């Protein structure tokens, strides 16, 4: 039972959080906002922002700890070893440093808590969350977004059997120590149960999307399209997200090479950062591609306009057996935006995309991907139908506010000592279980440049957005581009395959 009066106190421990850009950061910040709006007392414990470049923004440099207030919850940040997202040793040191400082510097600042929620991907954050839960005599909820160390083993990053055995023991110890385990796919749940964790302890709450942030009526930007190498009559094929070893982006570049000579009006753009971006850049240079643009990650606030400016969006994964249980969270944002979508995936992700009316091809198959791109580029009517079906599907099954409500009810059951088995379920809860009425479109704001005399940062504002009106864009042109450019557009600095910058 929970101790004390007042709303339940939740401590969310995570290595990654805004203003860093990425799907985990967006999901966690929006979940924290929904929980706070529903009456929970939420504190996020995280590190100084630096992912994926390893560069700490000026307002955070030199600080051991920062405390911020945003969207109704607190954020406690502690120092960590900042490093680019490349190199196993340096990344391990970064996670290890956060494990130590989150306990020594963040635990006291976080204050008393009733339940600690920790979001993996590594056991270091799990370790600090376990210590904090024991010190505070709080419940522990372990959230699994990746199956580790299995993913590292199948990708060939870890081959030492003794190291693998140690990591697997630590993984199972974290599951056993938790009062509840939350994961995002049925495949993950089945794997965890198969390894001896009680079924009633493992719950599935899938990833979702903020339906007010990604909308089919978002105007396209002619300027963004131009900076990504696409003219008004071109087809812009967009990959946006992490450039890691899991995505297999070199096979996407191979598909671009197959289309480069005969269909130069089909343009490919890769937007984002990651450990594999350097290899992708070199691969594109070796191929001599002139129909491909590389661009850095854009702020979260610019993501909707970026996606709206694309004609076709891609969700690729490597052809690895474990990835059949993975569901890339970025695909829900693309579906919510009403974009024609091609998934180079298998398993659960392929099933969801098929149900949403998207196109699915086998992973790491450049010929199949090139054929699918060419087919959509010449069929605008199909693109419109795909966009309508995609939006309807995510509204019905992957509304993040509804999923946050399910998560909140699970936390309340855990606090009451009554966690129930979560039956396979991909849809939202009934209307009376949704979080507090309306969604907000506020942005998490980083600290201002320069040092502050206090470690308390000002609150940020949120703004409501109206309900979606109208339908995804239609066009009679070979490439559907009927929207007018937005009055104000993000200006990502882009880099072509030959290294030339084209941004402003």
**What secondary structure, in 3-state letters, does 100-111 show?**
HHHHHHHHHHHC
Residues 181, 142: contact at Cβ < 8 Å?
A: yes
For residues 483 and 219, the answer to whether their CB atoms sit within 8 Å is: yes
Most confident region among 240-244, 301-305, 310-314 by mean pLDDT: 310-314
pLDDT per position as a tens digit, 471-493? 333 333 333 333 333 333 333 33
Instruction: Check if the beta carbon of residue 470 is closer than 8 Å to that of residue 203.
Output: no
For 240, the enclosing helix (H) or strand (E) is strand 235-240
Residue 466 · residue 250 · CB < 8 Å: no
Pair (234, 140) in one structural domain: no
Same domain, 264 and 363: yes
The side-by-side arrangement of strands in the sheet containing 495-496 is 359-361, 341-344, 312-316, 235-240, 266-271, 292-295, 495-496
- The neighbour count for residue 487, using CB atoms within 10 Å, is 7
| Residue finishing a domain among 92, 110, 144 | 144
- Domain assignment present for residue 381? The answer is yes
Same domain, 20 and 116: yes
Confidence at residue 23, expressed as pLDDT on a 0 to 100 scale: 80
Average pLDDT in the 90-99 region? 90
The predicted-structure confidence for 1-19, as pLDDT tens digits, reads as follows 455 568 999 999 999 999 9
Cα–Cα distance for residue pair 252/22, rounded to 1 Å: 20
pLDDT > 90? residue 135: yes
Considering only 150-159, 199-208, 220-229, which range has the smallest mean pLDDT?
A: 150-159
Once rounded to an integer, what is the mean pLDDT over residues 10-36? 92
Q: Which of 33-37, 427-431, 444-448 has the lowest mean pLDDT?
A: 444-448
Stated pTM of the model: 0.76
Flag whether pLDDT at 78 surpasses 80: yes
Same domain as 239, residue 112: no
Which among 458, 419, 408, 329 is positioned nearest to 32, based on CA atoms? 408
Amino acid 121: pLDDT: 64
Number of independent structural domains in the chain = 2
CB 403 within 8 A of CB 208: yes
- What number of CA atoms fall less than 13 Å from residue 92's CA on the CB side? 3
- 383, part of any domain: yes
Average pLDDT over residues 73-100: 90
* Closest C-alpha among 215, 269, 218, 260 to residue 239: 269
Task: Write down which residue in 106, 129, 144 finishes a domain.
Answer: 144
User: Of the candidates 118, 144, 170, which is a domain's last residue?
Assistant: 144
pLDDT at res. 3: 56
Question: Does pLDDT of 61 surpass 50?
Answer: yes
Looking at the fold, whether 124 and 228 belong to one and the same domain comes out as no
How far is residue 207's CA from residue 109's CA, in Å, rounded to a whole number? 30
| Residue 417 CB partners (closer than 8 Å, separation 6+) | 1
- My answer on whether 32 and 134 are in the same domain is yes
Determine, yes or no, domain membership for 139.
Answer: yes
Q: What is the pLDDT of residue 85?
A: 77
- Using CA atoms, how far residue 109 sits from 102, 103, 129, 370, 401, in Å, is 10, 10, 14, 52, 28
153 lies in some domain: no
Average pLDDT over residues 149-171: 76
Q: Is the pLDDT of residue 449 over 60?
A: no
pLDDT for 462: 33
Laid out side by side, the sheet with 115-119 consists of 65-70, 73-78, 41-47, 9-13, 115-119, 139-144, 180-183, 202-204
For 405-414, how does the pLDDT look when each residue is reduced to its tens digit (9 = 90+)? 999 999 999 9
Biggest CA–CA distance in the chain, Å, is: 70
Report residue 364's pLDDT band, with 50, 70 and 90 as the boundaries. very high
Residue 454 located in a structural domain: no
The conformation of residue 431, written as its DSSP 8-state character, comes to: G
Domain that holds residue 360: 222-396+469-496
Average pLDDT, the chain: 83
Residue 6: predicted pLDDT: 85
Distance CA 192, CA 197 (A): 6
Residue 288 lies inside a defined structural domain of this protein: yes
Where residue 399 falls among pLDDT bands split at 50, 70, 90?
very high
**Does residue 250 share a domain with residue 133?**
no
Question: Is the domain of 364 the same as that of 246?
Answer: yes
pLDDT band at 469 (very low <50, low <70, confident <90, very high): very low
Cβ-contact 10, 113 below 8 angstroms: yes
Residue 427 falls inside a structural domain: no
Predicted confidence at residue 4, as pLDDT, reads 58
Q: ∠ CA 196-200-202 to the nearest 5 degrees? A: 70
Question: What's the confidence (pLDDT) of residue 87?
Answer: 73
Q: Given this model, what pLDDT does residue 167 score? A: 78
Give the 3-state DSSP-derived string for 443-502, with helices as H, strands as E and coil as C. Answer: CCCCCCCCCCCCCECCCCCCCCCCCCCCCCCCCCCCCCCCCCCCCCCCCCCCEECCCCEC
Q: Distance between alpha carbon 279 and the CA centroid of its chain, in Å? A: 22
Do 96 and 228 fall into the same domain?
no
336 and 226 housed in the same domain: yes
Do the beta carbons of residue 36 and residue 72 sit within 8 Å? Answer: yes
Return the closest-CA partner of residue 242 out of 272, 212, 278.
272
CA separation (Å) from 145 to 100, 163, 328, 386?
Answer: 22, 21, 10, 28
Contacts of 207 (CB under 8 A, 6+ apart): 23, 27, 184, 327, 329, 332, 398, 403
Task: Tabulate helix, strand, coil % of the chain (nearest 5).
Answer: 40, 15, 45
Is pLDDT at 293 greater than 60 in this prediction? yes
- Give the CATH number for residue 350: 3.40.50.2000
């Amino acid at each position: 039972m929970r101790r004390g009066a007042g709303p339940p106190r939740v401590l969310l421990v995570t290595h990654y959080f805004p203003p860093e850009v990425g799907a985990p950061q967006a999901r966690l910040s929006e979940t924290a906002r929904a929980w706070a709006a529903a009456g929970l007392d939420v504190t996020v414990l995280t590190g100084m922002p630096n992912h994926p470049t390893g560069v700490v923004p000026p307002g955070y440099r030199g600080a051991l700890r920062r405390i911020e207030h945003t969207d109704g919850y607190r954020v406690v940040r502690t120092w960590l070893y900042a490093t680019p997202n490349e190199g196993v040793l340096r990344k391990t040191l970064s996670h290890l440093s956060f494990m130590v400082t989150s306990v020594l510097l963040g635990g006291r600042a976080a204050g008393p808590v009733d339940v600690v929620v920790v979001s993996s991907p590594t056991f270091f954050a799990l370790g600090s969350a376990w210590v904090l839960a024991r010190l505070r005599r709080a419940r522990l909820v372990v959230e699994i977004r990746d199956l580790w160390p299995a993913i590292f083993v199948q990708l060939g990053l870890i081959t030492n059997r003794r190291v693998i055995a140690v990591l697997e023991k630590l993984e199972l110890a974290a599951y056993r120590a938790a009062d509840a385990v939350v994961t995002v796919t049925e495949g993950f749940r089945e794997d965890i149960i198969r390894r001896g964790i009680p079924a009633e302890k493992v719950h599935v709450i899938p990833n979702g999307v903020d339906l007010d942030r990604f909308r089919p009526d978002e105007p396209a930007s002619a300027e963004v399209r131009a900076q990504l190498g696409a003219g008004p009559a071109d087809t812009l094929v967009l990959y946006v997200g992490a450039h890691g070893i899991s995505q297999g982006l070199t096979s996407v570049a191979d598909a671009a090479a197959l289309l480069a000579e005969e269909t130069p009006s089909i343009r490919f753009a890769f937007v984002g950062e990651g450990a594999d971006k350097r290899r992708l850049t070199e691969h594109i240079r070796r191929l001599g591609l002139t129909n491909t643009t590389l661009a850095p990650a854009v702020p979260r606030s610019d993501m909707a306009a970026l996606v709206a400016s694309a004609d076709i969006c891609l969700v690729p994964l490597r052809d690895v057996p474990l990835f059949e249980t993975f569901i890339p969270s970025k695909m829900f944002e693309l579906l919510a935006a009403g974009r024609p979508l091609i998934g180079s995936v298998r398993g659960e992700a392929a099933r969801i995309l098929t149900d949403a009316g998207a196109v699915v091809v086998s992973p790491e198959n450049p010929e199949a991907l090139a054929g699918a791109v060419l087919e959509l580029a010449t069929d605008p009517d199909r693109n419109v139908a795909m966009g309508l079906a995609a939006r309807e599907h995510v509204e019905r099954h992957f509304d993040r506010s509804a999923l946050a409500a399910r998560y909140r009810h699970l936390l309340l059951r855990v606090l009451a000592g009554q966690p129930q088995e979560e039956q396979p379920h991909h849809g939202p809860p009934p209307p009376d279980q949704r979080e507090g009425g309306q969604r907000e479109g506020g942005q998490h704001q980083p600290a201002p440049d320069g040092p502050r005399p206090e470690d308390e940062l000002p609150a940020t504002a949120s703004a409501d957005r109206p309900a979606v009106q109208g339908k995804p864009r239609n066009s009679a042109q070979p490439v559907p581009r009927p929207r007018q450019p937005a009055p104000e557009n993000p200006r990502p600095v882009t880099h072509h395959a030959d290294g030339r910058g084209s941004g402003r």
